[in-house]
Chains A and B, each alone.
Chain A
Amino acid sequence: MAVSESHKQSEHIKPKEQFDFFNDERVRSVFYQLLTAAVVGWIGWYLFTTTANNLQVRGMDSGFGFLGVEAGFDTDFKLMAYEVGVGTYGDIFLIGILNTLYISFLAIIASTLLGFTIGVLRLSHNWLVSRVALAYVEIFRNTPLLIQIIFWYTGIFSLLPKIKNSFDLSGGAEVVLLNNRGLYMPWPVPGDLLWMTGLALIIAIIVVIVFRRWAHKRQDTTGRIIPTLLPSVALIVLLPGIVYLMTGSPLGWDIPKIEGFNFVGGSSLPPAFLALFVALTIYHAAHLAESVRAGILSVSAGQHDAAMAIGLRQNRVLSLVIIPQAMPAIVPPMISLWMNVVKNSSLAIAIGYPDLVAVFMQTSLNQAGHAIEIVGMTMAFYMFVSLTISGLLNIYNKRVQLVER
């Protein structure tokens, strides 16, 4: 009896001490991880050796030396000094990056403004207006961006009148002209004393910030609200304005003029740029409008009613209650939308706007080879932009969370 009792007990304890090699969770996890690492490592090694072998067989060299080699082609549009015959593939890479960032930046600003407008119109009490906004959103969200881009380019901006019959967007002044070569605008030429206006502007902004802080503090201590908007705007407009006039208007304009068959002076944007800009703006604004609408609707109606009940005026209800609560729901999709603008600007290649993919991944790759380096550099650029933007998003999310709880 006693023997069997002790036997039972030992049986009961034993499994705890026994180390079952094949069923132990730690052993299994290490095993699976090693297996995965080995498979991935093997694939990597296989790709590396076959690629090296292929490069050798085809007599292709590798490395980043080609970046210092003269590129020998020009781009239609560039934001930095570049000379055919001197500029290198490294310069082309920079031109592409600048062009991508330039159009993305402008399209982000425009699509954000338009998207907020459409999103608010979508919630309008006017039935007709909200239906029109809905139609806009559905039409542009449900057609491919690439078709839209090509449509704007081949169907609109390439069919504009010739230079002689340019559209005058400045209403008869002939300074802002639109034709099938693009958009021509005057370009500011800073004079000697312009820095004083800039300085005045900075001073005005600092004063406004200090003034608003003071007003805010005063409201906290005394409860009295001091109007800040009008004085701030007046200060920011008037102070630099007065300084500008007193220093004798030190800003000239370089106005485009027809000379022969082309324009001289001013600054110009090619039709491909305009088409891409318009298409990106319209397409992403439609997406943003939906996020804005969802964000505003996510603030419960009770918030609005309660704010009205404590006697806030309509504009204060919006600025103090609705918008601060809607923004945390709007900002994350908005920022990922900005990322999409940067990524989608690569469709420029279809209409010949010289963005990074077009000049580097296509033209340079066709000329110089070095597929791996070029693909790697291009992808690294987009990844860098994405990581930067998602870093910003994380910072924002953290701040919002701190405010919330």
Chain B
Amino acid sequence: MAIVKTEKTPAREAPLSETTIIGWMSKNLFGSVFNSILTVVTLYIIYLTVRDVWVWGVADAVWVADNRRECFKISIDGACWAGVITWMDNIFYGRYPREELWRINLGAILLFVWMVPLWLPRVKAKVLIGVTTVFLYPFLAGYLFAGGDKGIFMQVMISAAIVCLIGNTLHSIIGVLTGSSLPEFLIRLLGRQDAPEKSQHKILFGILAVSLVVVYLWQMGWHAEGVSWTKWGGLFLTLVISGIGIASALPGGIILALGRRSRLPVIRVLSTAFIELFRSVPLITVLFMATTMFPLFMPEGVVLNKLVQVIIAVCLFNACYMAETVRAGLQAIPKGQAEGAHTIGLGYWGTMGLIIMPQALKHMIPNIVGSFIGLLKDTTLVSIIGLFDILGMLRSISRDTPWLGLHKEPLIFGAILFFLICFAMSKYSRHLEVKLSTGHKK
């Protein structure tokens, strides 16, 4: 006679320490005497800090005032945000003519429109969209921001950019709605899906050429007023410098990294020396070098303006840092990949461009975002050599007569702004890291 249990034993309920908030607290905050003391002390410190910050920054703060004296009259020990609010336009746009601000905003919106397809899941040819962003958008944005006379070259590039933007937008709308690409859609629209591929291509090129000509003729009609670079400033200038910096750092960095890993000694030594030179000195010395030595390098009569000097310096500096990021990414690719590529008959550029780089770049995206954060933070250094980027603007508030001596509030505002941008980017890069990882990590 066997004793067999016929009923299933009901599961015991989870212990209270795992389910209730009190259980969680007793485990994570008051696990031991020492832990409890630590918690209480930390809570007290947090309370003091938050209270002081709240009282200074919000409760006793002055939001509307005409000058600093008035701030003091209203509240002697609260923050004077009125100064920052009055200067808000300057902080974002610098001394850009107020009636032309729409151009900066339009430029930002265009960039947004251009880049959005990269995040839409059903859109095809994302690499192409990314490449056009880097190579065509700058011409359009550059003309929007700087204005002035368009040369023939600029007219062609602007037309190409506009055509590309329109095509891009249509392409992504069609992509989201139907899942096909713009050329496929056009062919179907014209009822030529049965025509041979060659004639299809002819039709597509025809459409492209016609739209280019139309846009070219259209853009000849309008003209943006010139705005000197000396009027550029604020967050706008910071983003322009770091944007150009990151866009040129990636190709530059890839070339330098390949050079450093090259089997040809001359190229390897030159690339290594170049990278190590710029990586071992502070950015501020490179900026000083640009402003003091570049004028000596130029042939007589050629004068580079300060903005161009700074941008060249930032590009050189960041290309070298990017080179190391790229090199780390290349090193992570197993040797078998290159050997496999050689076996199927690919040459050096085929191996790199089709096999190694696509894999390496995927690994590198988090680090690239990381170096973009670094670059954005580093760009504040240009205020030291006299450009009015966002930090330059924040610092000039304290020299403005009504707000004389107002240091803390603008800097805190700037710090919060940078924090929001950089923190969002670093969170996003961590998200990408998880999303892109194809490894076997748990």
Residues of chain A at the chain B interface (Cβ within 8 Å): 29, 32-34, 36-37, 40, 47, 50-51, 53-55, 57, 124-129, 132, 138-139, 141-148, 150-151, 154-155, 158, 339, 343-344, 346-347, 349-350, 357, 361-362, 365, 371-372, 375, 378-379, 382-383, 385-387
Residues of chain B at the chain A interface (Cβ within 8 Å): 28-29, 31, 35, 38-39, 42-43, 45-46, 263-267, 270, 276-277, 279-282, 284-285, 288-289, 292-293, 295-300, 373, 377-378, 380-381, 383-384, 391, 394-395, 398, 407-408, 411-412, 414-415, 418-419, 422-423, 426
Q: Are B418 and A371 in contact, CB atoms less than 8 angstroms apart?
A: no
- Give Cα A154 to B276, complex, Å: 35
- Give Cα A343 to B374, complex, Å: 14
Residue of chain B at shortest CB distance from A125:
B31
> With a CB–CB cut-off of 8 A, which chain B residues contact A379?
277, 281, 285, 289
Q: Are A50 and B35 in contact, CB atoms less than 8 angstroms apart?
A: no
- Give Cα A213 to B390, complex, Å: 59
- Give Cα A154 to B398, complex, Å: 10
Please, could you name 22 A-B residue pairs with CB atoms under 8 Å apart, sorted by A?
Answer: A29-B264, A50-B298, A55-B296, A126-B29, A127-B28, A128-B42, A146-B383, A147-B411, A147-B418, A151-B407, A154-B407, A154-B408, A155-B407, A344-B282, A357-B284, A357-B285, A357-B288, A361-B285, A379-B281, A379-B285, A379-B289, A386-B279
Q: Are A128 and B29 in contact, CB atoms less than 8 angstroms apart?
A: yes
Taking the closest CB of chain A, its distance from the CB of B70, in whole angstroms, is 20
Residue of chain B at shortest CB distance from A132:
B42
Taking the closest CB of chain A, its distance from the CB of B381, in whole angstroms, is 6
Q: Are A387 and B418 in contact, CB atoms less than 8 angstroms apart?
A: no
Taking the closest CB of chain A, its distance from the CB of B34, in whole angstroms, is 9
Choose from A50, A141, A145, A383 the contact partner of B281 (Cβ within 8 Å). A383
Q: Are B297 and A144 in contact, CB atoms less than 8 angstroms apart?
A: no
- Give Cα A125 to B266, complex, Å: 54
> With a CB–CB cut-off of 8 A, which chain B residues contact A37?
266
Most chain A C-beta atoms within 10 Å of own C-beta, residue among B265, B277, B285, B394 = B285
Taking the closest CB of chain B, its distance from the CB of A293, in whole angstroms, is 14
Residue of chain B at shortest CB distance from A350:
B384
Indicate whether A50 sits within 8 Å of B282 (C-beta atoms), given known contacts A142-B422, A148-B415: no
Taking the closest CB of chain A, its distance from the CB of B80, in whole angstroms, is 13
Q: Are B378 and A51 in contact, CB atoms less than 8 angstroms apart?
A: no
- Give Cα A138 to B55, complex, Å: 23
Taking the closest CB of chain B, its distance from the CB of A376, in whole angstroms, is 9
Q: Are B411 and A155 in contact, CB atoms less than 8 angstroms apart?
A: yes
Taking the closest CB of chain B, its distance from the CB of A356, in whole angstroms, is 9
Q: Are B415 and A151 in contact, CB atoms less than 8 angstroms apart?
A: yes
- Give Cα A29 to B264, complex, Å: 7
> With a CB–CB cut-off of 8 A, which chain A residues contact B280?
339, 382-383, 385-387
- Give Cα A129 to B296, complex, Å: 55
Q: Are B266 and A33 in contact, CB atoms less than 8 angstroms apart?
A: yes
Residue of chain B at shortest CB distance from A344:
B282
> With a CB–CB cut-off of 8 A, which chain B residues contact A361?
285, 288
Q: Are B285 and A142 in contact, CB atoms less than 8 angstroms apart?
A: no
> With a CB–CB cut-off of 8 A, which chain B residues contact A129?
38-39, 42
- Give Cα A162 to B99, complex, Å: 46
Residue of chain A at shortest CB distance from B49:
A132
Choose from B281, B299, B408 the contact partner of A382 (Cβ within 8 Å). B281
Q: Are A51 and B297 in contact, CB atoms less than 8 angstroms apart?
A: yes
> With a CB–CB cut-off of 8 A, which chain A residues contact B378?
144
